[in-house]
Amino acid sequence: MTLSKKMPRHKWSESHAPEAMPLMLHLHRAQGLAFARARALWARHDLTPAEFDVLATLRNAPPPHELTPSQLQDSVMITSGGLTKVMQQLEARNLATRSRRQLDLRIKPIKLTHSGKRLVERAMAELAETSGAWVRGVLDAKEIGMLTKLLGKLAEAGDASTA
């Protein structure tokens, strides 16, 4: 379904940056569709988006897949209070653990458990497979390459302008 069939055309998009606004609307719609697919997948694995974010971030940390709360906070899109709640949920399910450092008992590193690692790896593999199939079902290889390059260019320009 195209954006124009799903969403009404906004008159302001024609008068304000007519070349950019349709792009932005399509980007938001595509992101929403991708996130909806991901949410359904995470739910099948009994994970919230925040739990998946934390587990995936820990999985991407070098072995032993452990980060301090401040390192984790810098990498996830969750508030400090939200991270505490997510950590409690993950600990209760034995997907992550917290310990104390001998030299500084205030720091409680967060470590991915073996069960947490297996779960996030399964979920990530399934997410990559289903997302890839969705994209390849709509775009050919050349279009995927072109879109990836163009979106990368936008992302890099955004990073430079906010620095």
Total tally of structural domains belonging to the chain:
1
Residues in the chain: 163
Q: Is residue 114 part of a domain?
A: yes
Q: Is residue 19 part of a domain?
A: no
Q: Is residue 124 part of a domain?
A: yes
Q: Is residue 140 part of a domain?
A: yes
Q: Is residue 20 part of a domain?
A: no
The string of pLDDT tens digits covering residues 131-158 is 999 999 999 999 999 999 999 999 898 7
The string of pLDDT tens digits covering residues 64-103 is 999 988 899 899 988 888 888 999 999 999 999 988 656 6
Confidence of residue 33 (pLDDT cuts 50, 70, 90): very high
The string of pLDDT tens digits covering residues 12-28 is 555 677 778 888 888 99
Q: pTM for the whole thing?
A: 0.78
Q: Is residue 102 part of a domain?
A: yes
In three-state form (DSSP H/G/I as H, E/B as E, the rest C), the secondary structure along the chain is CCHHHHCCCCHHHHHCCCCCHHHHHHHHHHHHHHHHHHHHHHHHCCCCHHHHHHHHHHHHCCCCCEECHHHHHHHCCCCHHHHHHHHHHHHHCCCEEECCCCCCCCCCCEEECHHHHHHHHHHHHHHHHHHHHHHHHHCCHHHHHHHHHHHHHHHHHHHHHHC
Q: Is residue 125 part of a domain?
A: yes
The pLDDT, as a whole number, for residue 133 is 96
Q: What is the CATH number of the domain that holds 136?
A: 1.10.10.10
